[in-house]
Amino acid sequence: MKKNSSVVVDLLLLLLAITVLATPAFSDLVLSKVERRIDVTSQIARVTKTLKVVNSGSESVSEFTLTFPKFLSNNLAYLSVSHSEGKGKAKRSLANLSVKEAHPKGMPDLISFYSVSLPKPLSKGDTLTLEVVAAFTNVLQPFPEKITQRDIHLVMLQESAQYLSPYVVESQSLSIKLPNARIESYTKLENSKVQGSEIKYGPYKNLAQYSYAPIVVHFESKAAFAVAERLVREIEVSHWGNVQVTEHYNLVHRGAQLKGEFSRLEYQDRPNPQGVSAFRHLLARLPPRAHSIYYRDDIGNISTSQMQSDSKKTELLIEPRFPLFGGWKTFFTIGYGLPLSDFLFASEGKRFLDISFGSPMIDLVTEKLIVQVVLPEGSKDISVTTPFAVKQSHEIKYSHLDIAGRPVVVLEKNNVVPDHNQKIQVYYKFSNINLLSEPLMLITGFFVLFIPCIIYTRADFSISKSSAAYLAKLQWDEVLATLQEVQNIIQKCLAAHDKLEASLRDLSRTGDIQTCKAARKSTDSLLKDLSKELRPLLASLQSFPSASQISPKVEELVAKERELQEKLMAKHTTVVEGYEKKSSGRDIENRIASQQQKIIALRQEVDDLLEFIDEI
Amino acid sequence: MAAKKASPDLLNSSFSFKSLKLKTKQQELLLRVSILGLVYVLAFIARLFSVLRYESMIHEFDPYFNYRTTLFLTEKGFYEFWNWFDSESWYPLGRIIGGTLYPGLMVTAALIYWTLRFLRFFVHIREVCVLTAPFFASNTTLVAYFFGKEIWDTGAGLVAAALIAICPGYISRSVAGSYDNEAVAIFALLLTFYLFVKAVKTGSLSWALGSAFGYFYMVSAWGGYVFIINLVPLYVLVLLITGRYSMRLYVAYNCMYILGMLLAMQIRFVGFQHVQSGEHMAAMGVFLLMQVFYFLDWVKHQLNDTKLFQTFLRITVTSAILVGGIALGVGTASGYISPWTGRFYSLLDPTYAKDHIPIIASVSEHQPTAWSSFMFDYHILLFLFPAGLYFCFKRLSDATIFIVMYGLTSLYFAGVMVRLILVATPAVCLISAIAVSATVKNLTSLLRTKQKVPQTGSTKGVGSSKSSSKVTLDQSQPFHKNGAIALLVGVFYLLSRYAIHCTWVTSEAYSSPSIVLAARGAHGNRIIFDDYREAYYWLRQNTPTDAKVMSWWDYGYQITAMGNRTVIVDNNTWNNTHIATVGRAMSSYEDEAYDIMRSLDVNYVLVVFGGVTGYSSDDINKFLWMVRIGGGVYPVIKEPDYLVNGEFRVDKGASPKMLNCLMYKLCYYRFGELVTEYGKPTGYDRARGVEIGNKDIKLEHLEEAYTTSNWIVRVYRVKPPTNML
């Protein structure tokens, strides 16, 4: 109630001030026609005005003044003035005109002035059509201010039926578009009428400067009065191909506050649910090709959200954990990834990110919006262009594998409405070489991890180099090395045996005695060399005291191998002789049968011994 | 001929391989390391089911407290944490957090967090907390490997690591998100035991020192350290009695006990308990006994006279026991040594808690274990365990004695309390691993010897003189071989069943965060009930920051952690009277309860109600415990008042006191108008399957503030007193 009464007092003061205003201040412009349309279907009052300006004075004018009552201009979120030329179908809008807040002298505080610089001075008798779009927040006052769950949500709008202007207005009309036809009350003036969900005032003719006729419209609104008290949008650019957007919302329902109980039973009642003043969904219209979307809050993921996407847009319908009644708050975070190629462009040796400024939520009012653009580490020469004034600052953010930190451009703006969803450009320089730094760091990290392992296995960390245990260990290592060599030689011997056997097989197939003999010869010399190599090893093995357990086995192995060698040679000789004598295959077979048995048994024993040594 | 030709060929080809092959030792090392690596990874990923099924979130009740304190620690630093007085719980008493918690878990998580940040990985502390348990489970497999290697051989170590990696008894408490003390404590427990066994085996001071530090870590992490400080002296005592006293044991135990005790005193929550509490006296007694033993040894060495020594022995032992007994008696009588606590008693005597401490008995995880849950948690280990014991007894050593004692005592405790299955799990896995490894090793060695003998046997032919001696072997071989193969196949079948069972249990039973409930819808689709978080988040966002919330103690930690509001009682059940007061308020009539709530400055009351969804662990089903605990302190509350012929009912036949007590009213407020199931009357309670008895509930001093979408959590606002003017 307090807020309302203060507005009423404001209004009275305004009226007083207007009556006091006598001096015809500004230039000799005349508004020949004013059309105002106020759209209050959402929580934002969006005022569109078409002003036809005529210069009736003698001098040319280059400035035009817009006025708003102070209680409205305090809530002015967005104002743009454009002018259009031509008429009818040929009409086209031209660029926006620059608008500045003005403080003319001698004017009461209760009126705010904005001066618009015209595209070209308006000479005598010329006309110009201006299109003014203004968006106000907080001007729809809930009344009553507290309602129960069963009540409908009523709001009140205060305006003037006549256009407040420092100029004479020849003809004007006002239409107010309401969300539905349920109108509680409205100020009835002459020429006012209701058409469905629209209220029309006017036309009114020939009004003096600063005419003012307060009206109040009291109507039902089902719109979501969702206000983000604070919204932090973090836009992180990764040159690996992704733009990650993270948005933290502190949301509150700014409609009439809920008083008394919240009844789940009534809220869920099927044919006629109670609690229409609450909203349970919010719709976010994300850019197309948005991916990896998540929706969570301080305590975890929120599973109630739906997504629809096509090539033009991605729509995310999110449902807070609980329905929001008037005065209830919530906090949540949504995040999504966008393909880099859709948002990052190059111009004049610089890169620039072209991305929208405001929140993707439909009909959301943001009281304080903070946009943080996080650029890759190593970006330089950063500059920002925005279509409207914002507060700028710079920060450093540390993220994964950062050393110097990533430069962050922080943009702040209060009272943001969807009309501010325009693109901003962040220009910076970045060299592609920097992309490699993070993988290189990871590689270095792993390398550093493995170096101690390598050093540990290679280096000798024993404290006392002369202790018995240490010496024994050294000796044992030597024994093992020798054993390894012995094994290798034995393996080579066995390989030679196999070659010999193979030559025999070839003989039986081809009957070529000469090659067989040659093979025999080469094998002989090889085996001789090997046994020569073996001798010093065996000697050194015997000299180690710690090898006393092993050396008999090794000796046995060598002996067996030699025996095997001899038997094999004998067999070879027998077979070759047999062939030379041209004896039958069966004959030869019979002759070598006993030898063959022994060879196999010996081979088995040698293998066993080898395995035994292998296991040491 | 064919065989003859083939065999050299085979040899040839295998030879070319052999030159490339690593040495057997290197091969074995490579195999071992890669198996261990795989087991390590397996242990980690098997615990990630909950993250995949739900999300990366903290589970259950206590972990929320741990998470909250870890958050505090990382934000405010260690000193603030150590001196933290928490006014958000136990209103109006508050709680000295630093002095009443085991900080090991939080410090561990914070250290991991800080290390990662130092290495430039800017992870969220929640992720660290969620993954702490799987990480430590992986580390436990490594310790299990070394332990198994120490008590048996490397094979047993590997099997133990593999078994413990997926054992449901351990997984139940270490899935991702189960951020509880046990997560690191089992690692610390096993590490301490391993290092101690190693110290006893080697007599090395450094291993004993290691085990003292392991013990310190355990003390800092979990109250279960009492198990170590009783089991180790018991083990030492058994070694002394069985005549296995040695210098190694003396060094290991003394170093571990003295250093461990001094280190443990640094934990504020433990303080001087090592010298003042009855539960720790066994360790001190054994310590003194060790000194007597050592002294006697020395005297024996000096005297060199058996007769003289016998008399001396008698005198010393009697006087030592006398002095010890008198000291204990005086200490207990003067109150210097505190008697055993109720929890300790309830471990030794399973029926104790039921009669004396309802607050312990009311917790489901403190119930005696059912056979089914043994089967569920151990599966084949349950019968591999006795087999392993057999092998241990067959090869008795200091190490195997330890594992046998650990296994038997912990299994007894596991039978007393469901929760302690966790403590028994490592022992069961180790002993079972011995059984598996020993069996498989025996069987394969049988197979391997036979693979060669047939070759020689067949080629030796008929005329060989030696063949007659081998004939008997040859005949028994096919049978042996087939038997061994069959047994091996059986073992592998069992082990694979075990793996399947473990995976199934983990994914179905142990991966639910319990804060988010999931059910299957009519069409097989998954329905998620996220009501708890809905309510807690509502509290967090839409109540005054200094609001006090009254609820049953189960939800205290969650309300403070997620709702960020002050609670009257929480899961740290240190003040029974306070809990009883809440129990009394819940079981009184509304106006009486209103006075209690006014005196406690309560602004909101939170109840959990499953009547709409059929969720059975709600406050109505817990209500009798509230009555019992409340009645234990305030005799005004009498359990029979709420029962009809000893039966707990909520329908028309319920007792009038039940139908009008605060809990009943808050749960069923306006429930009588709701149709929960098609074809049933209004007010049909699906959790209990009855139509409620009191459908016309009017609240006088409270009003519904919020009810979640499935009615699981209901929050009421306590109205201010009506203005007398």
Cross-chain Cβ contact B538/A322 below 8 Å: yes
B247 Cβ contact partners less than 8 Å away, ≥ 6 residues apart: B203
Return the pLDDT at B467: 40
Mutate to test the interface with A, among B22, B706, B713, B716 (most CBs of A within 10 A): B706
Alpha carbons B260 and B212: distance in angstroms, whole number:
4
Q: Of the residues B402, B436, B470, which one is the last residue of a structural domain?
A: B436
Is A429 within 8 Å of chain B by CB?
Answer: no
Which tens digit of pLDDT belongs to each residue from A269-307?
877 778 778 888 899 999 988 999 999 998 888 888 888
Nearest to B120 among A321, A329, A402 (CB): A402
Residue B637 lies in a domain: yes
Do A262 and B704 lie within an 8 Å CB cutoff?
yes
pLDDT at res. A501: 84
Give A550's pLDDT tier (boundaries 50, 70, 90): confident
A294 has a chain B CB within 8 A of its CB = no
Pairing between strand A300-301 and A305-309? unpaired
**How far apart are the CA of A249 and the nearest CA of chain B, in angstroms?**
13
Give the Cα separation of B456 and B471 in Å (integer): 12
Residues of A with CB below 8 A from B464's CB? Answer: 597
Nearest Cβ partner for A261 among B11, B538, B704 = B704
* Pick from A262, A268, A302: CB nearest B705: A262
ipTM: 0.85
Number of domains composing chain B: 2
* CB contacts, 8 Å: B120 with chain A: 398, 400-403, 441
Q: What is the pLDDT of residue B469?
A: 42
Q: What's residue A268's pLDDT?
A: 87
A27 band by pLDDT with thresholds 50, 70 and 90: low
3-state secondary structure of B521: coil
Q: pLDDT at position A401, please?
A: 85
Q: Which two tokens stand for residue A604?
A: 């088995």
The answer to whether B456 contacts A600, with C-beta atoms less than 8 Å apart, is yes
Q: Which of B121, B541, B709 sits opposite A329 (nearest CB)?
A: B541
* Higher per-residue pLDDT: B713 or A103: B713
The whole-number average pLDDT for the span A363-372 is: 94
| Co-location of B165 and B47 in the same domain | yes
Chain A hits for B705, CB-CB cut-off 8 Å, are: 261-262
Q: Is the pLDDT of residue B2 over 50?
A: no
pLDDT of residue A561: 85
The pLDDT of residue B478:
64
Average of pLDDT values for B497-506? 94
Instruction: State pTM to two decimals.
Output: 0.86
| Within a domain: B290 | no
Q: What is the Cα–Cα distance from A308 to B377, expressed in whole angstroms?
A: 44
CB contact under 8 A, B533 and A597: no
Domain identity same for B426 and B542? no
**What are the residues of chain B with a beta carbon less than 8 Å away from any beta carbon of chain A?**
5, 8, 11-12, 15, 18-19, 23-24, 55, 57, 119-122, 452, 455-456, 459-461, 464, 528, 530, 533-534, 536-538, 540-542, 562, 670, 673-674, 703-709, 711
Of residues B572 and B18, the one with the higher pLDDT is: B572
Using the 3D structure, point to which of B436, B469, B491 is the last residue of a domain. Answer: B436
B372 domain residue, yes or no: yes
Average pLDDT over residues B376-403: 93
The reply to whether A614 touches chain B by the CB within 8 Å rule is yes
- Looking at B436, B453, B484, the residue that finishes a domain is B436
Q: Which residues of B touch A399 (CB under 8 A)?
A: 122
- Higher confidence at residue B21 or residue B690? B690
Q: Which structural domain, as residue segments, surrounds residue B590?
A: 528-718
Q: Is residue B42 in a domain?
A: yes
A491 to B18: CB separation less than 8 angstroms, yes or no: yes
Write out the CATH class of domain A227-262+276-435: mainly beta
Nearest to B460 among A300, A498, A597 (CB): A597
Of A206 and B429, the structure prediction assigns the larger pLDDT to B429
| A321 touching chain B per CB within 8 A | yes
CB contact under 8 A, B23 and A614: yes
Mean pLDDT of all residues belonging to chain B: 88
B-chain residues near A501 (CB < 8 A): 8
Return the H-helix or E-strand segment holding B394. Answer: helix B381-394
Q: Place B26 in a pLDDT band, splitting at 50, 70 and 90.
A: confident
Residues B412 and B536 in one domain: no
Chain B residues with CB under 8 Å of A400 CB are 120-122
Per-residue pLDDT at A310 exceeds 90: no
B215 and B71: one domain? yes
Instruction: Evaluate whether residue B256 is within a structural domain.
Output: yes
Does residue B373 form part of some domain?
Answer: yes
In percent, how much of chain A has pLDDT > 90?
Answer: 31
Mutation site, B206, B533, B558, interface A, largest A CB count within 10 A: B533
**pLDDT for residue B354 is more than 90:** no
Q: In this structure, is the dihedral angle defined by the CA atoms of residues A183, A189, A194 and A199, taken in order, positive or negative?
A: negative
When CB atoms are compared, the residue of A263, A268, A403 closest to B704 is A263
Whether A204 contacts A36, CB under 8 Å: no
Q: What is the mean pLDDT of chain A?
A: 85
CA distance linking residue A400 with residue A408, whole number of Å:
15
Question: So what's the pLDDT on residue A89?
Answer: 52
Rounded Cα gap, residues B71 and B179, in angstroms: 13
**Which pLDDT band holds residue B351 (cuts at 50, 70, 90)?**
confident
d(CA B140, CA B423): 13
Helix axis angle for B398-416 and B381-394, nearest 10°, is: 150
B249/B131 same-domain check? yes
How long is chain A? 616
Q: What is the pLDDT of residue B151?
A: 93
Q: Please report, for chain A, the start and end positions of each structural domain, with discontinuous segments joined by +.
A: 26-220, 227-262+276-435, 468-615
The two three-digit tokens of residue A241, written as one number: 């191909």
CA–CA min distance A170, chain B (Å): 52
Give the Cα separation of A45 and A40 in Å (integer).
5
Chain A, residues 592-611, CB within 8 A of chain B, namely 597, 600-601, 604, 608
Q: Quickly state the pLDDT bin for B6 (edges 50, 70, 90).
A: very low
- Residue identified by tokens 């031209």 is A94
CB distance B670–A502 less than 8 Å?
no
Which tokens sit at B157? 């170590």
Interface test with B, best of A150, A253, A258, A264 (most B CBs within 10 A): A264
Do B538 and B431 belong to one domain?
A: no
Mean pLDDT for A549-558 is 82
- Determine contact: A262 vs chain B, CB below 8 A: yes
The percent of residues in chain A predicted with pLDDT above 70, rounded, is: 94
- The region of weakest confidence among A284-293, A353-362, A570-579, B47-56 is A570-579
pLDDT band at A323 (very low <50, low <70, confident <90, very high): very high
Give the confidence band of B462 by pLDDT, cuts at 50, 70, 90: very low
| Nearest residue of A to residue B719, measured between CA atoms | A260
CATH number where B659 lies? 3.40.50.12610
Chain A hits for B711, CB-CB cut-off 8 Å, are 264
Q: What is the pLDDT of residue B49?
A: 93
Contact flag B540-A501 (C-beta cutoff 8 Å): no
Topology annotation, domain A26-220: Immunoglobulin-like (2.60.40)
CA-nearest residue of chain A to B449? A608
B723, amino acid identity: N
Residues B47 and B182 grouped into a single domain: yes
Helices (H), A459-550: 468-510, 513-543
Beta-bridge partner residues of A29: A55
Cα separation values, B7 from A501, A508, A588, A596, B271, Å: 11, 17, 20, 13, 73
What is the arithmetic mean of pLDDT over B704-710? 93
B522 burial level (CB within 10 Å; 0-12, 13-18, 19+)? exposed
